[in-house]
A and B are shown apart, each in its own frame.
Chain A
Amino acid sequence: MKLSVWTYEGPPHVGAMRVATGMEGLHYVLHAPQGDTYADLLFTMIERRGKRPPVTYTTFQSRDLGADTADLFRRACQDAVARFRPEALIVGASCTAELIQDDPGGMAESMDLGVPVIPLELPSYQRKENFGADETFYQIVRTLAEPMERTARVTCNLLGPTGLGFRHRDDVAEITGLLADMGIEVNVTAPMGARPADIKRMGAAHFNVLLYPETGEAAARWCEKTLGQPYTKTVPIGVGATRHFIAEVLALAPEAQAPSEAGLRLPWYSASVDSTYLTGKRVFLFGDATHVIAAARIARDEMGFEVCGMGCYNREFARPLRQAAKEYGVEALITDDYLDVERAIEAAAPEMILGTQMERHIGKRLGIPCAVISAPVHVQDYPARYSPQMGFEGANVIFDTWVHPLVMGLEEHLLHMFRDDFEFHDGAGPSHHGGAATPRPTSQGAVEEEAPDQVRGTASSDALVWLADAERELKKIPFFVRGKARRNTEAFAAGRGQTEISIDTLYEAKAHYAR
């Protein structure tokens, strides 16, 4: 048993639902107890779909347990086929149905429903949502796709986008446009938007573009082995990765041409002087491995940040993430426990967090700016406006998204200049964060207010004691760099075996770490 409040991923059958909901003409019969239909609202509310997910639940209840549930399942299959007339059916069990051992796959296959039936084995007590999506898509492709003659023109398939994917809708549009610019047509995009009939003709493409390894890698590997289609290894998130991806595509399709970079603005924005203040901002990255690995590269090479921590919640991708983390000189954090993430963030004391919805809330609690780079996300991250993460427009979107939560250069400069000003004092915060500027407390009040802080300050580290003067001096440092100053000073003092921190220690540390 594992105590859990927040889960980064749902159970694997939710992954299967993401595949089914992304597709057209496919229906999912899910052997599940009453109540599991809650997952419908992820699609109808968070993703704001105007259609019910194509899922029929058996919704067995207590009184059905026993021989009845198998019959219930058979009837659900018949009703679903009669009502929805799908081109293919996927069938499986949710976590509870897994325990009652009705074998949905076997039953459905023996029923002669008149459409292909694809049984799913999703071990609910070992695996999670992303596995469920990957496995489901793989089983669908394995059952339906066949080797066939390649299209006359160079075409490729886009693999991995699903229902409830973070920015999948716009990523597909962006990459489809990028490939069109290169003279390459998309044969089939799947699972999102594809019908079973489309899956059948996937073999006609010359190669595959694997957009999301989490949800498409098993299918991509199968296509490579069985259909002889190579697939791209670079996920085109960020300028460098997109250029790398283009090079990969050009190697697979030599007759294609390089696309235009006319709309790309990130490099100039990042080079412009107002961005100088971004240099060395310490960022902590967490999310699914694909987005974290991509974000780390953008953060360091394209934004000039320092990556001070990175991790992912999907342990299937622990290895590539560990490898990437090594490159940035940090230890990878592989966990699906948000308390671990919170502790790691507190310890790293970053100036910015790039994470999931969960990290957004951790950031709020710790007072650290945060931008969302990965699922799980909430309704606000299924925006109405065009907002890809991939390709050149994706890079523009990322620049804006990441910079907005930070104090902009000019504003940071003003905060430095006027830090004793009544409107720019510590407690005021940046003007665009919604906190109304509160007047600086009068000197009398200030002294009283600082008192409890000193107590906390002295207790901040077991061995180290901040002297009152040094603590006061620390408070004069702008709030957005104070965490770093405190950490650096304590590390500096500890390194020299000092137990007390004075003003001198503070400034010696500052000189020591000066860059």
Chain B
Amino acid sequence: MTRMAPPPGSGCRDIPVLRERGQREVFCGLTGIIWLHRKMQDAFFLVVGSRTCAHLLQSAAGVMIFAEPRFATAILEETDLAGMADAQEELDREVARLLERRPDIRQLFLVGSCPSEVIKLDLGKAAERLSREHAPHVRVLSYDGSGIETTFTEGEDACLAAMVPVLPETQARELLLVGALPDVVEDQALSLLSAMGIERVRCLPARRADEMPGVGPETVFALTQPFLGGTRDALMRRGARHIAAPFPFGEEGTTAWLAAIAAEFDVPREQFEAATDAPRDRARRAVAAATEMLNGKRIFFFPDSQLEIPLARFLTRECGMEAVEIGAPYIRQDVVGPDMDLLAPGPVLSEGQDVDLQLDRARAARADLTVCGLGLANPLEAEGLATKWAIELVFTPVHFYEQAGDLAALFARPLRRRAALKLEAAE
């Protein structure tokens, strides 16, 4: 099987992590809806929350909100806060109205928010009741996307984890790919696995309700996203086994991820190489083209999506960058451990955030590129720091071989732009 070069030193799995608490400049889990609803074509996401939640979705969704989106907010009003029983009835009425207007909807997610959690509105019970009421046409599930419980991509984790208990039982030995990938990326993954001779592959989430995979003791699963710790736990509770691997970013990450699956399914070395040699070569060439700009540059990650550690691994090992600080909202070793093993010691690893203190560190470090959210990007640019806004990494196809060059280019572009703009006054 293909071996990866070990990192210099012993990796950074065991180095001390800087844990901070304080003001966190991050999105809440509701934001996950924006990409999840594109993936699950017959699902509707109904947030039970406040005007703030609706405003957040609108701000995050940008212009997408006008294309008959399959998400909305049931905004709590004064009267809903007065008595609990009333709120449940109100919810039933709004759901009935919604389903009447959208008969194409097969799965409805009631998504909890901070206000609905704080007033302890029982959405789990509501989902059960509504499921009975609207069966068999519509299945209603609930999960919590509130800021008090979830950070940004954890919303997807909470959503998928809520689906796991109701997936059908199967005894088949199947591979499950877990994580909502853009369709084009998912298709590439399936065709790579098929070329390796692995045919029984299912995806969670599936594109439609009637294609949802089964799960059971013979199921093995691989995560395609590092933020799915909760879904991993839920799948393991149903007897499925996790294939731990680095995440499929870059040529090296994709190869390592595929290799871990190949090992699980006893794929012969020749077949693995036949399936991967050509795309590996393509990926290496594409990354090399973008890497010229990144080589030797220092990078600083603010916490956002939990993609930070695998991306830092890609950028340092395949693009020649040097990481100064890698901030992540949460670090789960049982998920990103294989990536940490490949990451050379040196950078500060930080978990959680006190944004003002972290900004002080970022200003002191003056990295060549700072990866951060949209609330920080322009202010840091105005201070003379080049930034790459992080949310794009969640929306853009970046996984596997064919996107490796694009992924590197996303980081190279702000630096190229900085070099291209000559805006100072003429001498």
Q: How far is the CB of B29 from chain A (nearest CB, A)?
A: 8
Which of B169-177, B340-348, B376-384 interfaces with chain A?
B376-384
Residue of B nearest to A12 (CB): B51
- Residue in contact with A5 in the complex, picked from B23, B24, B72, B118, CB distance below 8 Å: B72
- Residue in contact with B27 in the complex, picked from A35, A42, A45, A378, CB distance below 8 Å: A35
Contact A125 B63 (CB under 8 A): no
Contact B379 A49 (CB under 8 A): yes
Contact B94 A1 (CB under 8 A): yes
Please give, as numbers and ranges, the residues of chain A lying within 8 Å of B48 by CB-CB distance.
1
Residue of A nearest to B391 (CB): A41
- In the bound complex, how far is the Cα of B353 from the Cα of A151, in angstroms? 49
Does residue A139 face the partner (Cβ distance < 8 Å to B)?
no
Residue of B nearest to A95 (CB): B50
Please give, as numbers and ranges, the residues of chain B lying within 8 Å of A64 by CB-CB distance.
148
Does residue A65 face the partner (Cβ distance < 8 Å to B)?
yes
- Residue in contact with B374 in the complex, picked from A36, A45, A76, A79, CB distance below 8 Å: A45
Does residue B373 face the partner (Cβ distance < 8 Å to A)?
yes
Please give, as numbers and ranges, the residues of chain B lying within 8 Å of A128 by CB-CB distance.
51
15 sample A-B contacts, Cβ–Cβ < 8 Å, listed by A number: A1-B77, A1-B93, A3-B74, A4-B72, A10-B51, A11-B51, A13-B52, A34-B28, A44-B376, A45-B378, A50-B378, A51-B379, A52-B375, A95-B114, A96-B148
Contact A34 B148 (CB under 8 A): yes
Contact A96 B50 (CB under 8 A): yes
- Residue in contact with A2 in the complex, picked from B28, B75, B373, B377, CB distance below 8 Å: B75
Using known A-B contacts A3-B72, A34-B24, A35-B56, determine if residue A49 contacts B148 with beta carbons closer than 8 Å: no
- Residue in contact with B115 in the complex, picked from A9, A56, A99, CB distance below 8 Å: A99
Residue of B nearest to A94 (CB): B52
Please give, as numbers and ranges, the residues of chain B lying within 8 Å of A14 by CB-CB distance.
52, 55
Do most interface residues of chain A lie in helix, strand or loop, or is the interface mixed? mixed
Contact B25 A40 (CB under 8 A): yes
- Residue in contact with A100 in the complex, picked from B31, B52, B118, B356, CB distance below 8 Å: B118
B residues in contact (CB < 8 Å) with A? 22-31, 48, 50-52, 54-56, 58-60, 63, 65-66, 69, 71-78, 80-81, 87, 90-91, 93-94, 97-98, 114-115, 117-119, 146-149, 151, 356, 373-379, 381-382
Does residue A33 face the partner (Cβ distance < 8 Å to B)?
yes
Please give, as numbers and ranges, the residues of chain B lying within 8 Å of A5 by CB-CB distance.
54, 58, 65, 69, 71-73
- In the bound complex, how far is the Cα of B355 from the Cα of A76, in angstroms? 12
Please give, as numbers and ranges, the residues of chain A lying within 8 Å of B377 by CB-CB distance.
44-45
Contact A33 B114 (CB under 8 A): yes
Q: How far is the CB of A317 from chain B (nearest CB, A)?
A: 19
- In the bound complex, how far is the Cα of B380 from the Cα of A51, in angstroms? 8
Digit string of A302-316 for contact with B (CB within 8 Å is 1, else 0)?
Answer: 000000000000000
Contact B94 A3 (CB under 8 A): yes
Residue of B nearest to A365 (CB): B66
Does residue A225 face the partner (Cβ distance < 8 Å to B)?
no
- In the bound complex, how far is the Cα of B373 from the Cα of A40, in angstroms? 10
User: Would you list the 7 A-B pairs with minimal beta carbon distance, nearest first?
Assistant: A35-B28, A35-B147, A50-B382, A40-B375, A96-B114, A95-B50, A41-B374
- In the bound complex, how far is the Cα of B55 from the Cα of A2, in angstroms? 14
